[in-house]
Amino acid sequence: MEFFRIKKDIPFMKRALVFNAISFITFALAVFFLFSRGLHLSVEFTGGTVMEVAYSQPAELAKVRETVSALGYSDVQVQNFGTSRDVMIRLPVQKGVSSAQQSEQVMAALKAGDPEVSLRRTEFVGPQVGEELVHGGLMALAMVVVGIVIYLAFRFEWKFGVAAIIANLHDVVIILGFFAFFQWEFSLSVLAAVLAVLGYSVNESVVIFDRIREAFRKFRKMSTPEVIDHAITSTMSRTIITHASTEAMVLSMLFFGGPSLHYFAMALTIGILFGIYSSVFVAAAIAMWLGVKREDLVKAQRKEGDPNDPNAGAVV
């Protein structure tokens, strides 16, 4: 489906050096903030107190979150589990305060608002669990990266695989850089969003790479930059429709999904916006710098006919 068609190719690759310089600066800033500020890890990674409380009526999560936050917990997680009456509360570690003291303090505040609330369970999630989650998350990220490289190398050519993985890691690092700079809470849901962005971004890269391969077959007299410009321009309508509809859904989660989905949607929003940029201006440009050419993507085939025919052996 195309809402519009651009007849004249846009010369994206003429500004490839400028776009790559912007990408490098953004990437370098993200790395700097990651090392200087670090990620603000959630309870799942750092350890803390997990409480399960039950209400006699459906719980108002916003009110529960406000009550607990008033006790001085800035990064408290409040969500339903099981039924709308059951609430799980995750509290970060506080120096000099035990898990039992935290739960007593929270229950006293909750009972002041609703005397019928009861404590089902409380436990301390130690840092060992957090280390296992970090290790598992990094392993998942590494497996996704390796899988993307292998897939693109087999489907297209190794130069495209290298270009795509650089562009996709560019997106991931920038997302992490935003979370480090603003000290937003990095939780398992945010990690899931980062992995989703990887898949989303590589899909856009595959679409553009496929158009590049088609253009190489169709336009033999075009240079590599011209082929890439044509491939990107021909996908503009599809890119706008796809990303606009996806971004509309993600923004609805960001604005109306509540605190539990806020940072998940924020990571997706940043990832989608930079994913569009990286697929067009980073992945394609890097493939061009690596020297991708028609012979890399189009297998030579020989016409059948008389061996003495001067046209025999021509590439088709």
Domain-located, residue 261: yes
- pLDDT value for 299: 59
Tell me, what's the pLDDT at 77?
83
Identify whether residues 165 and 245 lie together within a single domain: yes
Q: What is the pLDDT of residues 236-285, one digit of tens each?
A: 888 888 888 888 999 999 999 887 789 999 999 999 888 878 877 888 88
What is the predicted pLDDT for the residue at 3? 62
Amino acid at site 71? L
- Our count of domains for the chain comes to 2
State the pLDDT at residue 304: 42
What CATH number does the domain containing 231 carry? Answer: 1.20.1640.10
Per-residue confidence (pLDDT) for residue 309, from 0 to 100: 46
Token representation of residue 201 = 């971004």
Measure CA of the first residue to CA of the last residue in the chain; give whole Å: 30
SS3 content of the chain, % helix, strand, coil (to 5): 65, 10, 25
235 inside domain: yes
How does 86-105 read in b/e, with b if 16+ C-beta sit within 10 Å?
bbbbbbbbbeeeebeebbeb
* pLDDT on residue 175: 94
What are the pLDDT digits (tens) for 91-106?
A: 888 777 888 888 899 9
Number of H helices, E strands in the chain: 12, 6
Cα 309 from Cα 316, distance rounded (Å): 15
Q: Looking at residue 301, what is its pLDDT?
A: 41
For residue 153, the enclosing domain spans 12-39+129-297
Instruction: Looking at the structure, tell me whether residues 144 and 31 fall in a common domain.
Output: yes
Same domain? For 254 and 179 the reply is: yes
- What is the pTM assigned to this prediction? 0.78
Same domain, 56 and 192: no
Single-letter code of the amino acid located at 101? Q
Same domain, 156 and 208: yes
Whether residue 61 sits in one domain with residue 164:
no
- Measured between alpha carbons, how far is 227 from 293 in angstroms, rounded to an integer? 10
**Domain assignment present for 81:** yes
Residues 61 and 198 in one domain: no
Complete edge-to-edge strand list for the sheet that includes strand 83-92: 77-81, 83-92, 48-54, 118-125
Which residues are CB-contacts of 72 (< 8 A; sequence separation ≥ 6)?
A: none
Whether residue 230 sits in one domain with residue 147: yes
pLDDT at 298: 66
Mean pLDDT of each 10-residue bin along the chain, 316 residues long: 71 87 92 92 80 90 90 82 86 82 91 90 73 75 78 78 84 92 88 84 82 86 89 85 88 87 92 83 86 72 44 42
Residues 289 and 258 in one domain: yes
